[in-house]
Amino acid sequence: MVKLRYVCIDNCYFTLNGEEGLLEKLEVLSAPCFSCSKDVELLLQKTPYLRELRCSFVDFRQEIFPKLDPLTRLETIEIHLAADSMVGGPYNFPENLRNLTLSNFSLGSCHKSNISKLPNLRVLKLVSIFFDNDEWEVRHDEFPKLKVLKLVKCEFFDEWKGPDDNAFPVLEHLVLDECPYLKEIPTYFNDTGSLKSIKIKSCSEFVERSAKKFKQEQEEVYGNDDLKVFIQRGKRDRLSDDEITCGPALKASVVALPLPSDKEPVKESVFEMEVCVPLWGSVSICGKRADMEDALVAVPNFMKIPIKMLISDRLIDGLSQNLSHLTSHFYGVYDGHGGSQVADYCRKRVHLALVEELKLSEDDLVDGSARDTRQVQWEKIFTNCFVKVDDEVGGKVNIGLCDDNVNTSSGTSEPIAPETVGSTAVVAVICSSHIIVANCGDSRAVLCRGKEAVALSIDHKPSRDDEYARIEASGGKIIQWHGYRVFDVLAMSRSIGARYLKPWIIPKPEVMFVPRVREDECLVLASDGLWDVMTNAEVCKAARQRILLWHKENGTNPRAKRSQGVDPAAQAAAEYLSSMALRKGSYDNISVTVVDLKPHRKFKSKS
């Protein structure tokens, strides 16, 4: 073993015991899996002559990136980071490094800076990399000796930023493979005069156009016909200019909104009503927690809502007399704390309680007793719904589901969970004219409207000025310990359940009554396992692009088929968001529902 020069350990975990000098002559180590930075660093101590290291980091749990710089002979490094792993800290590599491949990593500005300063780096390959803000800023005189740059499956990378010159000064070969949202190849790649080839596969028209322009300039301006450009569209068709800048050409699926006010004169055909197709996908995973306390639910064709509960009387006068109700769909995400019982009960019960409250409100419309605005009306409906479920959880009234513990003689029941157990609730009712969201706790709903992320809920945190004041005014205490917490315990200020913290923790939701517009792309409901590690903008961009990419690759089924069960494009988006949250270091349960708000997409089906 002492004289061993080459070792290949195909996808097996690798550790070293305490024997000194066991692998001191080793030069090439290929394909092992490491579960912690300590094992990597121990290996490096015992292999001073190592020249090539190809490995995977698996089951890393908030590990600091291992110190690789002491190995001065190391020339080639290839590291794949498993999807459920996370590494932090600076990425330090030996100065003698010539070839570097990183797969599945997140690269911040400090990481890119460290790599760009490597004085002898010749080949850099980045696979499935997440860049901060989906962009790469390049500075003067970085990558002084880099000859080959490959970007593969960097699906959300969209822009290079940097100087007008002196970037990648000696680059000879540029490879871009499946970077569909990259806007262009910067001109500084062509200004160096060293570029010999550009290979493009499954990228946008922008990128193809940049490469062709470079070749034309080299031939016409510099008289150089050595630059070779290879373009392959491959399995996935390229995305057009419009799809990158404005999204795909889509037919309106909802009302022609924004809605005119009640005071404006009514015009005929203000509305272009269509059936609201339920297109959703959802994922709920335990993540790195020991127990699963999240729950979610989707109820397509939830109920028909009277149009008078959605649209003003003046606007209704311009509609068909046959249009009295709109079909709606219900989606909910519940994040339990202290146990899963309350979240599970909410999953089964909240939408049923909402139907009961909606029917009561419909009766008020019939007898003419309803005088509230629609916003206020929906606030009352959801508040009554959440309070009813909270009372059932606490045993104050008969529970709304069949249960052996119901005491029908007293009108009460046993609590369904211990007093320390509670749950958030963020729910959405969606129809062709509106999205109505109710939120209690720190789960969240975000609407992707065009390319903008529109928050449809605000987290109920003790640090919110209004929530802080409400709790203090009622005699409660908020203590700052690992964030703001009510009585040093709960990190949210509203919840269903959690009886031991009443009256400070309340079940009253905040409600958003939002008219739909043509630009609405998708709605994301998720527990804080997602929002703790991703911003609203990051989530909306990823969801929108994942839906678009799915349809580019698979085409679009007729609307009738798309409405049968879970929508595969929305499901792909939900799964991708959950995997991104894991990769970014989420330690909580992760539950995500993505609702595609576009039933029409102009993509040809693949044959």
pLDDT digits (tens, 9 = 90+) for 67-78: 888 888 899 999
pLDDT at 342: 97
3-state helix, strand, coil in the chain (%, to 5): 25, 25, 50
Which fold, 280-596?
A: Phosphatase 2c; domain 1 (3.60.40)
Q: Which pLDDT band holds residue 51 (cuts at 50, 70, 90)?
A: very high
Looking at residue 400, its pLDDT comes to: 62
Total Cβ atoms within 10 A of residue 127? 18
What is the per-residue pLDDT for 399?
65
Mean pLDDT of 36-59: 86
Beta bridge partners of 226: none
Q: What is the mean pLDDT of residues 392-420?
A: 70
Higher-pLDDT residue of 163 and 81 is 81
- State the pLDDT at residue 281: 96
Q: Cβ distance 181 to 158 under 8 Å?
A: yes
Residue 216 tokens, joined: 């034309």
Cα gap 325→516, rounded to integer Å: 17
In this model, does residue 256 exceed pLDDT 50? no
Is 160's pLDDT higher than 90? no
pLDDT > 70 fraction of the chain, expressed in percent and rounded: 81
For residue 525, the model assigns a pLDDT of: 98
Of the candidate ranges 17-26, 86-95, 215-224, 442-451, the one whose mean pLDDT is the lowest:
17-26
Residues ≥6 apart with Cβ < 8 Å to 56? 11, 31, 32, 33, 34, 79, 80, 81, 82
DSSP string, 185-226: --THHHHTS---EEEEES--HHHHHHHHHHHHHHHHTS----
- Residue 301's region, left for phi above 0, alpha for psi from -120 to 50, else beta, is left
d(CA 184, CA 16): 47
Provide the pLDDT for residue 18.
Answer: 55
Comparing CA positions, the residue from 577, 564, 571, 522 lying closest to residue 544 is 522
User: Looking at residues 51-74, what average pLDDT do you find?
Assistant: 85
**pLDDT at residue 240, rounded to an integer:** 45
Structural contact between residues 32 and 39, judged by C-beta atoms closer than 8 angstroms: no
Residues of CATH 3.80.10 domain(s) within the chain?
6-245
pLDDT for the residue 204: 85
Per-residue pLDDT, 197: 92
Q: Looking at the predicted structure, is the pLDDT value of residue 298 above 70?
A: yes
Q: Which residues pair with 447 in a beta bridge?
A: 454, 523
Q: What tokens does 422 get?
A: 């509670």
| pLDDT level of residue 607 (50, 70, 90 thresholds) | very low
Looking at residues 8-34, what average pLDDT do you find?
Answer: 73
Tell me what percent of the residues of the chain surpass a pLDDT of 90: 47
Please name the fold of domain 6-245.
3.80.10
483-501: average pLDDT: 93
What is the longest distance spanned by two Cα atoms in the chain?
A: 96
Ranges 396-405, 413-422, 499-508, most confident: 499-508
* 435-456 mean pLDDT: 95
φ/ψ of residue 254, rounded to 5: -135, -165
Average pLDDT, rounded, for the chain: 83
pLDDT score for 272: 44
The DSSP-derived string for 509-559 is: PEEEEEE--TTEEEEEEE-HHHHTTS-HHHHHHHHHHHHHHHHHHH----H
